[in-house]
Amino acid sequence: MEPTTEVVAARPAPELAGFIDHYLGYRMTGYEPGLHRGLPSRHLTFIVAIGHTVDVVAQTDPGQRPANYRCVLSGLQASPAAISHSGHQEGVAIALTPLGSRTLFGVPASELWNTSLEFADVAGPVGDELWERLQGPASWPQRFAACDRLLTRLACPDRLVTPELSWAWRTLVKSGGTTNIGALATGIGWSRQHLARRFGTEFGLSPKLAARITRFERARRMIERTPSFVTIAQVAATCGYYDQAHLNRDFAELAGCSPTTWLAEEIPSVQDDPGLRG
């Protein structure tokens, strides 16, 4: 059987738009069984499995035991997870920003840093209901609508990240991870040390590491999507790295391999930005 990949993207309901960037429905069949790398990203990992569970055989935190998840919620991370697959994967990936953790779950994203949980352990019965609603035959629009209904039920508009930290996060992401951290602090009117302290308390990582992960994610997508005549050195320059060696070091630390190894081994990623417009 030839490998086939179906990916469908949609925006969330307006009430969720500030906290969820998009939904991505995916169905992959015919691949050889193997391991998929769950890589650091500017989004929390939030995946509702359809059929087969999400089988994490190596967590980002070596102290956390491997586990199978019907609906996995993981915080921001700075190392890869290893996910086993049978060659068939289906589910809905929810591109949850760290700004949404407090509003949807009542906890800052820092409380989810570098750990994976069954969503029902965070959201209670709504977590079980979300998984149940997405099982069985249904269209992608029907599944996305179920996500809208249930996640809107969780959202509390009174639970928001402070305006200063929201601005800092969005500015950092919009720059592709190239914003100067000192300038970011100045833009808020804080010292660099105060920004680092408040940022870490809310999101679980420093502004510098968040910028590094954002830059890495942008480079990864470019490497995956650009034509073969575009070199990794050119990608490195475009994404704000000093040189290709700098990009290679980030890949080794954040992905656990070189860019070329990752590109050769990886199946299509459900972490990808669908490029929605409007």
Domain membership flag for residue 270: no
Total structural domains in the chain?
2
By CB neighbour count within 10 A (0-12 exposed, 13-18 middle, 19+ buried), where does 86 fall?
exposed
CB atoms within 10 A of CB 105: 21
* Same domain assignment for residues 120 and 214: no
Domain membership flag for residue 275: no
Of the ranges 17-31, 42-56, 221-235, which one carries the lowest mean pLDDT score?
221-235
Last residue of a domain, one of 102, 126, 154: 154
* Same domain assignment for residues 81 and 176: no
Domain membership flag for residue 273: no
Work out the percent of the chain whose per-residue pLDDT is above 90.
83
* Same domain assignment for residues 111 and 192: no
SS (H, E, C) 43-73: CEEEEEECCCCEEEEECCCCCCCCEEECEEE
- Residue span of the structural domain in which 192 resides: 163-265
* Same domain assignment for residues 47 and 133: yes
CATH of the domain at 143: 2.60.120.10
Average pLDDT over residues 98-117: 97
pLDDT surpassing 70 at residue 278: no
Domain membership flag for residue 274: no
| Among the listed residues 38, 50, 53, 36, the one whose alpha carbon sits nearest the alpha carbon of residue 8 | 50
Last residue of a domain, one of 133, 154, 175: 154
CATH of the domain at 221: 1.10.10.60
Dihedral, CA atoms, 228, 234, 238, 240, nearest 10 degrees? 130
Q: What angle do CA 249, 252, 257 make, to 5 degrees?
A: 140
* Same domain assignment for residues 133 and 20: yes
* Same domain assignment for residues 99 and 74: yes
* Same domain assignment for residues 101 and 54: yes
pLDDT of residue 267: 60
Report how far residue 194's alpha carbon sits from residue 215's, in angstroms, rounded to the nearest whole number.
23
Domain membership flag for residue 272: no
Sheet holding 34-38: strands in order across? Answer: 34-38, 81-85, 54-58, 67-69
* Same domain assignment for residues 198 and 228: yes
State the DSSP code for 79: S
* Same domain assignment for residues 197 and 77: no
State the DSSP code for 207: H
**Greatest pairwise CA separation for the chain in angstroms:** 58
pLDDT of residue 263: 85
| Among the listed residues 216, 202, 38, 20, the one whose alpha carbon sits nearest the alpha carbon of residue 113 | 202
* Same domain assignment for residues 125 and 35: yes
pLDDT, averaged across the chain: 93
CB atoms within 10 A of CB 208: 14
Report how far residue 16's alpha carbon sits from residue 254's, in angstroms, rounded to the nearest whole number.
29
Domain membership flag for residue 277: no
* Same domain assignment for residues 98 and 193: no
Domain membership flag for residue 278: no
Q: What is the pTM of this model?
A: 0.93
Domain membership flag for residue 201: yes
Instruction: Give the tens place of pLDDT for each residue, 45-102.
Output: 999 999 999 999 999 999 999 999 999 999 999 999 999 999 899 999 999 999 999 9
Last residue of a domain, one of 108, 133, 154: 154
* Same domain assignment for residues 37 and 61: yes
Alpha helices per DSSP H over the chain:
99-105, 119-123, 125-133, 140-154, 163-174, 181-188, 192-203, 207-225, 232-238, 244-254, 259-265
